């Protein structure tokens, strides 16, 4: 049963949007099974805005050519997908055709095709229908402003229908295939000249298969760039607002990526599920479609249950951009702790939450003055000798940088004497910080009595932290 806290909801009025940088994790990927996947190639999943239609590219028997556009449907979002149906010879040709994205009204579908009549190689097309009960019309080529004499494919449209992402090996890029974007002022206007997403996203390798979240703040793609786990890997980049540049891409890690090829990730409209395709073992055929949950981390204090203690933590950060509590409406948040986050938290109240495991980097007093590099999501653990019975405690010096988020309060661990605990015995204070965004900062801790203003600390500890 979902529970709500009505008295707290009114606190959300009048708050402004800031930066989206919440904490979330992914569930274990599962195969969509033999109803959707075949013994052939099944890839490039794209979901309609209502979550009831899944378009895919397949060369299974029953098609018109090499690879065709197929669609599987369901009546409710919590039901299983049905048997895929070919979109027919009006949409599919005797060449290779693959789905792109579908607009929110369900009446406009973008696709790519290397059929005759295009510029050369593969071009981007669009097909429309009058109602969702009608057949799709003849695909129209997007024309020479968008398409080049090279290959354009995997078109993905923004939620407002005004920005189109795609991949291409056209001139002016950084590598073998790059991600590009074209925009238009209204849905009735023509598309403008495509712009390369630039060296933050693109490398000298292949960047292919883009998808963008409904809020425009998260970009997924696959690439064979260095730093991956196999043939092709899934990567993710984020930005604070739709007017900001993309941050450095992050590999989705070994839970998603294998020594095999992972391709074409697609986020469900509500941000709860990531679909992708892979030829990893455990599938049905040559290349299969898989899915994984995108899970907001709602157990803020890590005690294994979502309860009133987590509500209190959220209230403490109400109206801020605290990444720990910014969990809605998408799992990565919207830049402010408000009613959207409380709604998500209420949906999980009194659930038992298994602990989220993160890789840790452990440092101590010997590392004072050194430098440490972390990947986003990694935990930095600092252990320093302390004796709180004297009134002295380690405390972090405030910083303007927000690349690290302290996890809970510092933990005190008494010295192990081998016998009964000694009153007033010393031990260690243990601090945990999570790397939440790329950047560089000096992390400084001081050992002092907090109430003694103007008194120099008897010890200090500092390290230079770089988050990639």
Dump the DSSP string for 25-84. EE---EE--TTT--SSBEEEEEE-TTS-EEEEEE--TT-SSSSEEEEEE-SSTTSPP---
Q: Is 352 domain-assigned?
A: no
Are 87 and 178 members of one domain? Answer: yes
Packing angle, helices 308-316 and 339-347, rounded to 10: 170
Tell whether 225 and 242 lie within a shared domain.
yes
Looking at the structure, do residues 290 and 306 belong to the same domain, yes or no? no
Asked, for residue 355, whether it belongs to a domain, the answer is no
> Number of structural domains, the chain?
3
* pLDDT of 14 strictly over 50: no
* Domain stop point among 316, 347, 378: 347
Identify whether the C-beta of residue 327 lies closer than 8 Å to the C-beta of residue 20: no
278 plus 302 within the same structural domain: no
Residue predicted with more confidence, 24 or 70: 70
pLDDT > 70: percent of the chain: 92
The pLDDT score that the predictor gives to residue 6 is: 31
Residues 265 and 305 occupy one common structural domain: no
pLDDT digits (tens, 9 = 90+) for 433-443: 888 777 889 99
397 has a pLDDT exceeding 60: yes
Mean pLDDT of the chain: 87
Integer Cα distance of 35 and 58 in angstroms? 13
Task: Judge if 310 and 388 occupy the same domain.
Answer: no
pLDDT given for residue 15 in this prediction: 26
* pLDDT confidence bin for 97, thresholds 50/70/90: very high
Query: What average pLDDT score do residues 145-163 get?
Result: 95
* Whether residue 188 sits in one domain with residue 60: yes
| Sign of the dihedral through C-alpha 113, 118, 119, 125 | negative
CA distance 201 to 237: 8
180 and 254 in a single domain? The answer is yes
For the segment 205-226, the average pLDDT, to the nearest whole number, is: 94
Report field, pTM of the whole predicted structure over 0.75: no
Does 448 fall in a domain?
Answer: yes
Residue 446 lies in a domain: yes
Query: Is 353 among the domain residues?
Result: no
Distance of alpha carbon 97 from its chain centroid, rounded? 28
Q: Are residues 282 and 323 in the same domain?
A: no
Q: Tell me: the pLDDT tens digits for 230-242?
A: 889 999 998 888 9
Is residue 156, in this structure, part of any structural domain at all?
yes
The verdict on whether omega for the bond into residue 403 sits within 30 degrees of 0, i.e. cis, is: no
Residue range of the domain that includes 29: 24-296
* 186 domain residue, yes or no: yes
305 and 284 in a single domain? The answer is no
Query: Is the C-alpha dihedral spanning 393, 394, 398, 403 positive or negative?
Result: negative
Question: Does any domain span residue 1?
Answer: no
Predicted local confidence at residue 357, as pLDDT? 58
Asked whether residue 49 falls in the same domain as residue 184, the answer is: yes
Residues 405 and 274 both lie in one domain: no
Pairing mode, if any, of strands 411-414 and 207-212?
A: unpaired
The enclosing domain of 341 has a CATH number of: 1.10.1330
Cα 179 from Cα 164, distance rounded (Å): 11
Looking at the chain, the whole-number percentage of residues with pLDDT higher than 90 is: 60
Mean pLDDT of 44-73: 94
> Which pLDDT belongs to residue 356?
56
Whether 417 shows a pLDDT value over 60: the answer reads no
For residue 84, which of 105, 67, 70, 64 has the smallest C-alpha distance? 70
3-state secondary structure 251-271: ECCCCCCCCCEEEEEEECCCC
CATH number at residue 429: 2.60.40.2020
pLDDT at 84 over 60: yes
Q: Above 60 in pLDDT, residue 266?
A: yes
């Amino acid at each position: 049963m979902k529970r709500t806290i009505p008295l707290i909801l009114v606190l959300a009025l009048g708050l402004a949007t800031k930066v989206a940088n919440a904490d979330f994790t992914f569930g274990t990927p599962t195969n969509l099974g033999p109803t959707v996947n075949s013994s052939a190639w099944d890839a490039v999943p794209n979901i309609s805005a209502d979550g009831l239609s899944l378009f895919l590219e397949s060369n299974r028997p029953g098609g018109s050519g090499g690879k065709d556009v197929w669609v599987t449907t369901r009546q409710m979002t919590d039901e299983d997908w049905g048997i895929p149906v070919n979109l027919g010879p009006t949409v599919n040709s005797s060449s290779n055709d693959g789905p792109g994205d579908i607009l929110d009204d369900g009446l406009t579908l973008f696709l790519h095709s290397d059929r005759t009549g295009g510029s050369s190689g593969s071009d981007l097309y669009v097909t429309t229908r009058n109602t969702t009960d009608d057949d799709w019309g003849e695909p129209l080529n997007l024309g020479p402003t968008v398409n080049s004499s090279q290959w354009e494919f995997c078109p993905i449209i923004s939620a407002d229908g005004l920005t189109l992402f795609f991949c291409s090996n056209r001139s002016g890029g950084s590598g073998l295939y790059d991600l590009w974007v074209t925009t238009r002022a209204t849905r009735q206007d023509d598309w403008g000249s495509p712009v390369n997403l630039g060296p933050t996203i693109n490398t000298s390798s292949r960047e292919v298969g883009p998808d963008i979240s409904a809020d425009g703040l998260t970009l997924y793609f696959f690439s064979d760039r260095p730093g991956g786990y196999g043939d092709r890997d899934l990567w993710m980049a984020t930005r604070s607002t739709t007017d900001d540049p993309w941050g450095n891409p992050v590999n989705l890690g070994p839970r998603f990526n294998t020594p095999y090829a992972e391709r074409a990730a697609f986020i469900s409209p509500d941000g709860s599920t990531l679909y992708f395709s892979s030829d990893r073992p455990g599938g049905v055929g040559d290349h299969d479609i898989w899915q994984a949950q995108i899970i907001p981390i709602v157990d803020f204090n890590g005690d294994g249950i979502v309860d009133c203690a987590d509500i209190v933590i959220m209230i403490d950060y109400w109206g801020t951009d605290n990444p720990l509590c910014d969990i809605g409406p998408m799992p990565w948040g919207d830049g402010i702790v408000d009613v959207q986050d409380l709604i998500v938290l209420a949906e999980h109240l009194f659930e038992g939450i298994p602990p989220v495991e993160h890789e840790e980097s452990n440092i101590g007093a010997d590392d004072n003055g050194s430098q440490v590099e972390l990947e986003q999501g990694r935990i930095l653990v600092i252990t320093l000798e302390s004796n709180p019975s004297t009134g002295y405690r380690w405390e972090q010096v405030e910083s303007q940088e927000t690349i690290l988020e302290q996890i809970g309060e510092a933990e005190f661990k008494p010295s192990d004497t081998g016998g009964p605990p000694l009153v007033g015995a010393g031990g260690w204070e243990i601090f945990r910080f999570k790397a939440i965004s790329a950047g560089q900062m000096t992390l400084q801790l001081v050992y002092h009595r907090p109430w003694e203003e103007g008194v120099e600390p008897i010890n200090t500890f500092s390290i230079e932290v770089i988050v990639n």
